[in-house]
Chain A
């Protein structure tokens, strides 16, 4: 029995001996693997960035939001989470801390902000002092909203770095006055930068005291707020979620069997909804390109069949000198697998370079991330293609009769 090292050496020699043909044969596979890897790297880069973005919301945080079924929305109905709900949770929900409301004061689309003749559009939220702990995001300059601000409904604003930049007010912003949706506020703090998420800045916002925000609402409008809080013991997350759900259902008078008019979500669920979207994209692309790799595999099989025919005499010589069936089988199988894994390895390299390059070229696009499982899968798949499409030609070679093979011209 020929040793594995010798079989490998002879396979490598044979691939080198037919350099051009081997290269062309592997090309299909290289292209297939490279496209899978490039797509996976780009999509995973995006997905990674989004997960990172939500990481500010810890694994132990829960968010309560109103939820309106699509059918109800069509009929003009809109469920709300209000201040009474906030009070209810603060009062009756045990095992939580840092409960903070978030009120989009001027609606989901934000408002115009003006400073010294400069105008920008940004999102405007009203929240309480604990918000900084809930989000684990603190002022880089100045201070955050205080209880005194709440008590006196002060017109103070804490701004994001991106907004300041847009307003050309990065130099000494504290104490400046800014007009938000027609009202004047004094800037008292600038938050730490959080960077971009999915190409969108997370530092483009302005915060004001919750009481101030409520006071600014038009008379007839009921607020619809989000409530975020941290669970003290992560182990009890589900318990707390159930308890919060029970409290709010009772508060909203929802009868048994009826659907919730709100949602209680973990940060992970928020992340997962994005992640699963990207996983679907990844999977679909991988499947499409998987088919192209099968085509590459057929190319490999074709070449191996040609190679077996061409080398019939060599097989005859080897058998005459004592090669057993499994020696010949291993020789051709390892040759096919070596060819496809080399093709796969090159494909992984090229694909990562493509994905990385593309991510670099597109401005504000997150860098490509190549997860280890994609590398392992691409490599394994390449080897698998070699085995699947190399086995038939190898078996044909192994079955040759030595004398018949030697007589072959």
Chain B
């Protein structure tokens, strides 16, 4: 394998993940090589069961690979114990889940503040950052609402704010629009577009082709392997117009 690029944020080498169900091995990932560099905007696509979520969980340090090497931001994840891995998730990774995973009894602001609180310090110290993150996703006026009192799209915005609040090196999203209607999904994707334009590195999973086309790079999985990895044609075409998008975002 070639040496990792200087500005690589994620590097996967021959990553495998095997689950055992009732004694039978299930090979979710069968040797994945992947590199994501700073500022990238990549979509992972593939049929259901092809290993997309498993890959994301490995990228997000939520699951350890069964074999292979995985480095994030220059840190070898395999060498870390559970607590160090928790710290890595807390500081370098922002994860957005398909079904939001907000704490139901905590307000929007408290949900967003949570990753910061696990770094230590009082809520007073972190309040402002959390408010800024909520404002960034357009929910400045919903700070004290409980998840239950928000729409699906708003919940996912809270989750995105929570993923961004700690200034992670990379934003990972597993089918972030999977539980949303088409219009809301477009809003959320607009948000991701703006975040990428502002410099955030984003990897997201989708099985919606139109969403994948908005990204710069498309990684296709099938049966636990990367079968195609190319710049998204439409994204490439749109490059010329990126200034306009940037203008809208800022």
Q: Which A residues lie at the B interface, using CB under 8 A?
A: 1-3, 5-6, 13-14, 17, 313-314, 316-327, 402-403, 406
The A contact surface, by secondary structure, is helix
Identify which of A3, A14, A322, A324 contacts B122 (C-beta below 8 A): A3
Q: Which residues of chain B from 22 to 36 have a CB within 8 Å of any chain A CB?
A: none
A112 to chain B, nearest CB (A): 77
Name the residue on B nearest A14 (C-beta): B105
B62 to chain A, nearest CB (A): 5
Identify which of B57, B120, B162 contacts A321 (C-beta below 8 A): B162
Question: Once bound together, how far apart are the Cα atoms of A367 and B173, in whole Å?
Answer: 68
Q: A403-B62, A403-B63 are in contact. Are A320 and B89 (CB under 8 A)?
A: yes
Q: Which B residues lie at the A interface, using CB under 8 A?
A: 57, 60, 62-63, 82-83, 86-87, 89-91, 95, 97, 101-103, 105, 114-115, 117-123, 162
Identify which of A2, A5, A325, A403 contacts B118 (C-beta below 8 A): A2
Contact B86 A322 (CB under 8 A): yes
Contact A323 B86 (CB under 8 A): yes
Contact B101 A324 (CB under 8 A): no
Residues in chain A near residue B91, CB distance under 8 A:
322
Identify which of B102, B103, B118, B123 contacts A322 (C-beta below 8 A): B118
Contact A321 B62 (CB under 8 A): no
B50 to chain A, nearest CB (A): 18
Question: Once bound together, how far apart are the Cα atoms of A403 and B95, in whole Å?
Answer: 12
B248 to chain A, nearest CB (A): 30
A-B contact pairs, 5 of them (CB 8 A): A2-B118, A3-B121, A320-B101, A322-B115, A403-B57
Name the residue on B nearest A404 (C-beta): B63
Residues in chain A near residue B123, CB distance under 8 A:
6
Residues in chain B near residue A320, CB distance under 8 A:
60, 62, 89, 95, 101
Contact A406 B62 (CB under 8 A): yes
Name the residue on A nearest B83 (C-beta): A324
Question: Once bound together, how far apart are the Cα atoms of A91 and B102, in whole Å?
Answer: 92
Name the residue on A nearest B87 (C-beta): A322
Contact A2 B120 (CB under 8 A): yes
Contact B122 A6 (CB under 8 A): yes
A32 to chain B, nearest CB (A): 30
Contact B162 A17 (CB under 8 A): no
Contact A1 B62 (CB under 8 A): no
Question: Once bound together, how far apart are the Cα atoms of A322 and B62, in whole Å?
Answer: 10
Residues in chain B near residue A2, CB distance under 8 A:
117-118, 120
Name the residue on A nearest B97 (C-beta): A406
Identify which of A5, A13, A319 contacts B105 (C-beta below 8 A): A13
Question: Once bound together, how far apart are the Cα atoms of A2 and B103, in whole Å?
Answer: 16
Question: Once bound together, how far apart are the Cα atoms of A387 and B62, in whole Å?
Answer: 30
Contact B103 A1 (CB under 8 A): no
Other contacts beyond A2-B118, A6-B117, A322-B89: 16, CB < 8 A: A2-B117, A2-B120, A6-B123, A13-B105, A313-B101, A314-B103, A317-B101, A318-B103, A319-B86, A321-B118, A322-B115, A322-B119, A324-B83, A402-B86, A403-B57, A403-B63
